[in-house]
Every structure is written in C-alpha cells, then in structure tokens.
Amino acid sequence: MTSTAKHAATVLTVPAFADNYLWLIHDGVHAVVVDPGDAAPILAALNQHRLTLTAILLTHHHADHIGGVPELLQHYAVPVFGPRNDAIAAVARPLVEGDVVSLPRLDVEFAVLDVPGHTRGHIAYVRRDGAAERWLFCGDTLFAGGCGRLFEGTPEQMVASLSKLAALPDDTQVFCAHEYTLSNLRFAAAIEPNNLALMARVRIEAAKREDGVPTVPTSIGVEKATNPFLRYSEQEIVESLVEAGRLAPGASPVAAFAALRQWKNSF
C-alpha cells in the first residue's frame, strides 16, 4: 500500500547490484537519493512510493555510487551534490568539510565531512538539523564491522577519517553503502575472539541475513564496540597482529591499522 501523505523524513533502503545499498531520504512526497549507482531501482522506488526526486547526493566517484546519475537527470532536473576533490563531471554543487546542505523540499540538513582514504575526495554527510534521529551517510569509508579499501589514500588519512566518524554520538545511525557485514565480522572475530560484544553481534547479524534483512544501518556505538578498524589500539588486536608476524611489537597505532587493512585484503 502506498501513501502520498507528507511525514517526517525517513530513509528507504534500496538494494542494488550484488551487495550495494542506495538510500532514498523522503517525507512521503519528496525524495533525495544518496549514491545512486543504478537508476532503475531508484526510479522503481520513486514510482512505487509516488515520490518526486529533488536532489542527488554523492559520497565519492566510484561507478557503483554514481552510475545512475545521468539517467536520473533525464527524468528529474535536480542539483547534484558531491565531493569537490573527487572528479565527478555531474557534480554541480561541489562540497568540502564545513559546507552545509539543505535538502530541497525536505526538512533535513547535512554537515559535510572530508573523509579521504578510500578515494582522495570522499565525503560523508552528517544530519545536523536537530532531528531526534541522527544519520550518517558515509559511502565506502566506514562499513558495518569494517572499512573501505585504501584505493587512493594513506593509512594516516583513513585513520583520521574514521576518527571523525567515531567521534559522532553513539546513537548516530550509520548508512554505509555495502552489505559486507558477515565477511567483515568473520575477520573481526578471528583477530579479537575474546570480545563478547563482537561475538554477540556475529549471531545477531547472521540471523538478520538468514531472514534476508539488511544489517545496515548500524550505529556508531555498535561499531566502536565491535569494528576492528576503530579498535586497532586494543591490546588483543595488537597481539593478534604481532603473533601473525604482521606488526612489530611497539609499532604505532597507524601501523597497526595499516597491518589490519592489509590482512583483511587477503583474509
């Protein structure tokens, strides 16, 4: 059943490709899409829920996040917001940290954070209009139980970017762009097997996937308690890295993070 009544803004999950999530922020009448890697599922969702698109937000330049933009623009002449420091031809409203985005026709406002590492110009959007629900749209920077690969940035940059996200309030809902959670948690559990919160989470998220339910959004609080890429200074994780011969004893936290990211690449 569809409804055209205007309500407080909510976030609709739109699965795409093998494991991407595209996000539609809407109030029952107007909608803004985040990272439309594909146009077809967004057009279908807009049609099904009778929504009018008013803007496109992009976090970084990879095709699975921007591929649907040209087709969406054929249907809706809307502004495209995105990172100033990733080269994306369609971006008419380039953003850097400190900028604020008011979503057209929606009562939602985002602050922009620079979160380089996965790509040079990757940005994240943090809701800042004082609504009860806190939202973070972080693309491929922070994942549920993991983080994005370092395609263009350094471990130092990614550590700084993740620290900005970890500093957000614990109840911030984290809308990341991929369903990588179970694979991420298998790695996390192997290197921090005595983390009880992590072991409990493995069961919770596995049950969700068995029921076909997304594990995203997650929250900053859950990630701080269970995500090794926010916990690389924890003693058990450092010991796992040292025991595996992947880290020199006494190495810096950034070196531990880099070793962790490297290990996950081949895990």
Contact 146, 227 (CB under 8 A): yes
The DSSP letter of residue 230 is G
Query: Count residues contacting Zn ion (CB under 5 A)?
Result: 2
Residue 75: active-site member: no
Q: Which of 62, 127, 178, 201 binds Zn ion (CB under 5 A)?
A: 62
Q: Which of 38, 86, 114, 140 binds Fe ion (CB under 5 A)?
A: 140
Contact 253, 235 (CB under 8 A): no
Minimum gap (Å) between residue 148 Cβ and Zn ion: 6
Burial of residue 251 (number of CB atoms within 10 Å: 0-12, 13-18, 19+):
middle
From the list 30, 61, 118, 122, the catalytic residue is 118
Minimum gap (Å) between residue 64 Cβ and Zn ion: 7
From the list 27, 64, 86, 114, the catalytic residue is 64
Among residues 86 and 140, whose Cβ is nearest to Zn ion? 140
Question: Cα separation of 67 and 242, whole Å?
Answer: 41
What are 25's strand-pairing partners? 11, 32
Minimum gap (Å) between residue 177 Cβ and Fe ion: 5
| Binding of residue 179 to Fe ion (CB under 5 A) | no
| Binding of residue 140 to Zn ion (CB under 5 A) | yes
| Binding of residue 64 to Fe ion (CB under 5 A) | yes
Q: Element (H or E) spanning 83, and its range?
A: strand 80-83
Assign 202 to helix, strand or coil: helix
Catalytic positions, please?
A: 60, 62, 64-65, 118, 140, 178
